[in-house]
Amino acid sequence: MPGSQNFDDNFLREMNARQLWHPMAHPAESRANLPVILTSGQGVRVTDIDGNEVVDAVGGLWNVNLGYSSEPVKQAIADQLAALPYANIFRGVSNDKIIRLAHETVDFFAPDGMARAFFTSGGSDSVETALRLARQYHKVNGAPSRTKFLSLKKGYHGTHFGGASVNGNANFRTQYEPLMAGCFHIPAPYSYRNPFNETDPAALAASCIAALEDEIRFQGASTIAAFIMEPVLGAGGVIPPHHSFMPMVREVCDRHGILLIADEVITGFGRTGAWSGSRLWGVKPDMMCIAKAITSGYFPLGATMINERIADAFEADSSGTAAIGHGYTYSGHPVGAAAALAALAETRRLDVVSNAAARGTQLFDGMLSLAAHYPVVGDVRGGHGLMAAFELVRDREAKTPIDGKLAVKMQKSAYAAGALIRVSGPNVILSPSLIIEEADIDIILGALEAGLKAIS
């Protein structure tokens, strides 16, 4: 209840930035501006310390796909805590839940060609695992010179050194350089801004592919291990490529013996209106990185999924090269596995993918109409399920990005109007739970309008 715990609440407000450093924020900025302090969540709503209840238009962080009230997932976690709260699965040990989860995830991603699962503690771990296994695959396969990685500018692949090295956004790189050697980036199929000055998505996709071919020629195909991409770029500002893009990437990779890693940390499990981003584009990658919605965010867990070709090479090796010298303390966490088993069952039972497609269209259409009235919106991106973004500009003609402070002002006004939204640089990023209903999308759109009014 608001005001009923003044002493505790004031302690939390006072102490937040004194002892806690926030990811992806300047510590001084966090000290100067009090964040929203959440205390509970129910359905698609979260409640803060002052008792304000708002629709969570961020869906946790692209992960709480089932909303905050999935009793089967909560129960599965509680039951597993009672039965076996932890177990490792390093050489010689396994557990019932992780074996079942491997079976379920392989089944879930079988249409994408996946055949094996390697579990991790989250998305960054899944990316790291995929990059390492890609190099190892080529060593196992007699091509040890294939060590380099290619990726997209604007792409986001988490924050480990490997992932940060293939990341395509200076914000996540500059202060941590030097990053890993041997990582090269090609222009993203981002039609609002690109070096080709190309606004037509199909033509832009072709230009980006030409740049990819050029980079491969320059580096030498025999030095490249893998190309990693998000099927729809998420954290970089929701950039859906033209539908021709990922199939062309697959074709180029195949022609040059380069593995294709799909980073599906956001796009896995229905967010795009298809069960995976690769399926959305009709592509079968060699590996997939998954995390986030695998437990609906209720427990930190991820996985690297591996196709038959890679599995065969590793499993047929008799030289020892294929021994996996990689893994995490939590690679077989039974509580995470139990959470994921329940979340997967709920994800299928609720057919969240259909709702993501329908509500995603409603959200995107609503955002397009808002953009028509507010010139501060430079670009609206989305149209594939429940991931959408506004890119805000000071001047539509010149596409000058707005001051980050204005984006924060928009976030505050939207919150007051009933929705928690996310701002990242000049982008407003939306990724609500996949169980969201029509009326809640209307609340988000109303809150976005309040936010746009406040900065127009």
Ligand X SMILES: Cc1ncc(COP(=O)(O)O)c(C=O)c1O
Backbone φ and ψ for 309, nearest 5 degrees, come out as: -60, -45
Of 127 and 310, nearer to ligand X (C-beta) is 127
Q: In whole angstroms, what separates CA 113 from the centre of its chain?
A: 20
Amino acid at 188: A
Measured from the CB atom, the residue of 263 and 449 that comes closer to ligand X is 263
118, β-bridge pairs: 304
d(CA 336, CA 343): 10
* Cis peptide bond upstream of 240, omega within 30: no
- Pick between residue 274 and residue 313 the one whose CB is nearest to ligand X: 274
Between 234 and 383, CB nearer to ligand X: 234
At residue 185, the 3 state secondary structure works out as strand
CB of 71 to ligand X, least distance (A): 24
Q: Which residue has the CB atom at the shortest distance from ligand X? A: 123
Nearer Cβ to ligand X, position 56 or 263? 263
Min separation Cβ 380 and ligand X, Å = 20
Among residues 406 and 429, whose Cβ is nearest to ligand X? 429
- Residue 259 in 3-state DSSP? strand
Question: Closest distance between ligand X and the C-beta of residue 130, in Å?
Answer: 10
Helices vs strands, H then E, count in the chain: 15, 16
Residue 238 burial by Cβ neighbours in a 10 Å radius (0-12, 13-18, 19+): buried
Q: Tell me whether residue 234 or residue 360 sits nearer to ligand X (CB atom).
A: 234
> For residues 310 and 285, what is the distance between their CA atoms, to the nearest angstrom?
11
Report d(CA 344, CA 339) in Å as an integer.
9
Q: Is the dihedral of CA 84, 87, 93, 96 positive or negative?
A: positive
The tokens of 108 are what? 């879930």
Taking the complex as a whole, the smallest distance from the CB of residue 159 to ligand X amounts, in Å, to 7
Which C-beta is closer to ligand X: that of 124 or that of 272?
Answer: 124
Q: Is 355 exposed, middle or buried (0-12, 13-18, 19+ CB in 10 A)?
A: buried
State in angstroms the smallest separation of the CB of 158 from ligand X. Answer: 3
Distance from C-alpha of 382 to C-alpha of 379, rounded to nearest angstrom = 10
Nearer to ligand X, 300 or 366 (CB): 300
Residue (205 or 266) nearer to ligand X, CB: 266
Distance CA 103, CA 337 (A): 11
Q: DSSP secondary-structure letter at 401?
A: E
Strands (E), 166-278: 183-186, 224-229, 259-263
CA separation for the pair 363, 388 (Å, rounded):
8
Cβ of residue 431: shortest distance to ligand X, in angstroms?
A: 10
DSSP state of 171: G
> Could you tell me the smallest distance in angstroms from the CB atom of residue 294 to ligand X?
10
Q: Which of residues 216 and 266 has its CB atom nearest to ligand X in the complex?
A: 266
* Shortest Å distance, C-beta 175 to ligand X: 18
State the DSSP string of 264-283: -TTTGGGTTSSSSHHHHHT-
Token reading at 26: 């300047």
Q: How far is the CB of 126 from ligand X (least distance, A)?
A: 7
Classify strands 259-263 and 224-229 as parallel, antiparallel or unpaired: parallel
Amino acid found at 3: G
For residue 230, the minimal CB distance to ligand X (Å) is 5
Phi, psi of 193 (to 5 degrees): -145, 125
In the bound complex, what is the minimum distance in angstroms from residue 170's beta carbon to ligand X?
17
Q: Which is nearer to ligand X, 168 or 187 (CB)?
A: 168
**Which residues form the interface with ligand X (CB under 6 A)?**
122-124, 127, 156-158, 230, 234-235, 263, 265-266, 291
φ and ψ at 119, to 5 degrees?
Answer: -90, 150
CB of 282 to ligand X, least distance (A): 20
How many C-beta atoms lie closer than 10 Å to residue 233's C-beta?
29
